[in-house]
Amino acid sequence: MSRGLSCGVLVALLAITSGDAQSEELCGGFSVFVYDLPPVPFVNPERRAFELLDRRLNISLLRFEQESLGRTVPFFFGLPCDERFNHTSKDYEAEDKCVAERFGGMGRLRSMGNSSMIPGSVVTYDTMPYSLPWLALRHLLNHCAAEAAEAATLFVVPLPLTEMLRLSRMKSVEHSWLQQHLMRVQTSVFEQQYWSRNGGKDHLVVVPSVLNDLSPQWARIGFDQHSWAPATLVAVQTTKKEGFAVPYPTIFHPRSDQEVDQWMAFVTKLPRHRAGVFVGEWRGRRQRFLELCDRNADVCKWRHVEDRFVGPLEEYGKFAFSLQPAGETSTRRGFFESLLMGTIPIVFRRGEDTCKEACPTVTIDGGRRKNTYDEVYAKFFGGGNVNWLSDVSLVAHDEKEAMKYLRETPEGRINKIRTNIIRMIPRILYWDTTYVWSQDAVGWKKHGPKNAVSTLLQRLRDEMASEKSG
């Protein structure tokens, strides 16, 4: 069973022809080829135990145990995981320096038996918010791969951006080294005949974090999104005109239709308080919102959670609404965690909930414009239509309107929106990356083609077809 990408001048993945029904459903009809990258000059190659994207990697190695690795460690995009994660989040990753890569990037496996709300039969993982490249590449490897570049219709450049950002924050290497390495990578890709063939239009670059709000961090490692145009940059937050935004990864990664149906039935039946909950930390931008929430404590609750993975889901599952004010970035993983729990998110129009003109902004067409959910995810959920958001959330222009929604939204509207949310859940899921669905299996055909990566590929197919016809 193939589980990762191989390392060579170029990397060939398992063949699935574009005419194959499984490729059409799971891959948008694409056959995908993933570039290998130049070696990282400042990492000792003798320390490498295995590359997590190696197509020949046995599935048992994806469930690696840190204590059994000795002096060698798993690598990802040519960089060792222990050097990236041992300072990421205090005590959590100190006990397991490579915890984020466990189970093909899904993170540490846990049983929910000790959860006060989520059924013990449900399996979830401690998935990091920045795990998108791992989850996306594992899907492409498992289901969409071309045997050779000549047969490919879509190309992926696996930039080691997560790894480089971590090295930058930890000051493990000089920023100039990271910048020079990224320039070598870009030069190597641009010199490939497959880039030249269509000018990069049939290429993808998957970015681990938000594309726009964290531009100073990208600058430190030398990443300039515009220099990769016209390749499509995929991230959890982009703008309507730049890149392609997909849902933030959550902790639930099913491998069958049955698991998805069970989850949807579970959240549908949850008893809920007629109130809203905000799960998160204090931020300067949120001060006005939090003050008003405190003054309306009968309908607005503010919760801190110790468990950053299961905790938010448990809180969202208790309430009819969640509140999603902007924080360090315009969009939040909490928005998708709320949807996963069947809880109606209340978002704020153009970010004006707490910060007015100080909200995170991006430059489009020479003007300043704020990131909003309707525009950021219009391609993914709405096929370009921004009206998708009103089907699954309430949009408030300010904090007072949000409090009004909590008190006055009719039950009929609540039920309608929640029904829409339940139907949307399959679209926001990244399925189990350590599992390959066979063509004749019936256990994935209902919800499998709706998973987040498959939806991305289907939208890209339609977008490319539209450009050609236009």
Q: Read out DSSP for 15-61?
A: ---TTSHHHHHHHTT--EEEE--PPPTTS-GGGEEEETT-TT--HHH
Domain region containing 143: 26-245
Asked if residue 156 belongs to a domain, the reply is yes
Q: Are residues 213 and 310 in the same domain?
A: no
Looking at residue 17, its pLDDT comes to 39
Strands of the sheet with 10-11, listed across from one edge: 10-11, 32-35, 154-157, 203-206, 232-235, 244-245
**Based on the domain organization, do 66 and 141 belong to the same domain?**
yes
Backbone angles phi, psi at 270, to 5 degrees: -65, 130
State the pTM of this model.
Answer: 0.86
Contact 354, 285 (CB under 8 A): yes
Does 198 lie in the same domain as 291? no
Structure tokens at 421: 């949310």
The amino acid at 456:
L
pLDDT of residue 353: 40
Domain boundary, last residue among 195, 222, 245 = 245
> Are 318 and 213 members of one domain?
no
Do 207 and 298 lie in one domain? The reply is no
- The number of residues making up the chain comes to 470
Residue 390 maps to a domain: yes
Q: Is residue 255 part of a domain?
A: no
CB 167 within 8 A of CB 160: no
Q: Quick check: is 114 in a domain?
A: yes
Same domain (yes/no): 108, 31 = yes
> Which candidate, 309, 289, 130, 288, places its Cα nearest to that of 206?
130
Number of domains in the chain: 2
**Secondary structure string (H, E, C) spanning 269-318:** CCCCEEEEEEECCCCHHHHHHHHHHHHCCCCEEEECCCCCCHHHHHHHCC
Examine the fold and report which residue of 408, 427, 446 is the final residue of a domain before the chain moves on: 427
Q: Is residue 13 part of a domain?
A: no
Query: What does the alpha-carbon distance between residue 276 and residue 299 come to, in Å, rounded to a whole number?
Result: 6
Residue 10: per-residue pLDDT? 31
Residue 438 lies in a domain: no
Strand partners, 300: 276
Residues 39, 144, single domain; the answer is yes
Look at the block and give the residue holding tokens 């709405």: 382
Cβ–Cβ under 8 Å, residues 275 and 301:
yes
Decide if 222 is inside a domain. Answer: yes
Query: In this predicted structure, what is the pLDDT of residue 329?
Result: 79
Q: What letter does residue 238 receive in the DSSP assignment?
A: -
| One domain, residues 368 and 414 | yes
Does residue 333 sit in the same domain as residue 209? Answer: no
What's the Cα-to-Cα distance from 311 to each of 279, 297, 306, rounded to whole Å? 9, 20, 7
Contacts of 179 (CB under 8 A, 6+ apart): 221, 222
Is there a domain that residue 376 lies in?
A: yes
At 416, which CATH number?
3.40.50
Instruction: Provide the pLDDT for residue 61.
Output: 56
Choose one of 245, 264, 294: the last residue of a domain.
Answer: 245
Q: What is the pLDDT of residue 392?
A: 97
pLDDT of residue 458: 95
Contact 135, 236 (CB under 8 A): no
200 in the same domain as 95? yes
What string of pLDDT tens digits covers the 470 residues of the chain?
333 333 332 333 333 333 366 778 899 999 999 888 887 776 665 555 556 666 555 555 555 544 444 444 566 666 666 544 333 344 334 445 567 777 888 888 876 555 667 776 788 899 988 889 889 988 998 889 888 899 999 999 988 787 787 777 777 678 888 899 899 999 999 999 999 988 899 999 998 887 765 567 788 888 888 889 889 999 998 865 678 999 999 999 998 999 999 999 999 999 999 999 999 988 877 888 999 999 999 999 999 998 999 999 999 999 999 999 987 778 899 999 999 999 999 998 744 444 444 444 333 233 334 568 998 899 999 888 889 999 999 999 889 999 999 999 999 999 999 999 999 999 999 999 887 777 556 689 999 999 999 999 999 999 888 887 76
pLDDT at res. 436? 77
- Residue 198 shares a structural domain with residue 305: no
Per-residue model confidence (pLDDT) at position 13 = 34
Per-residue pLDDT, 413 = 98
Both tokens of residue 274? Answer: 């007629």
Residues 178 and 304 in one domain: no
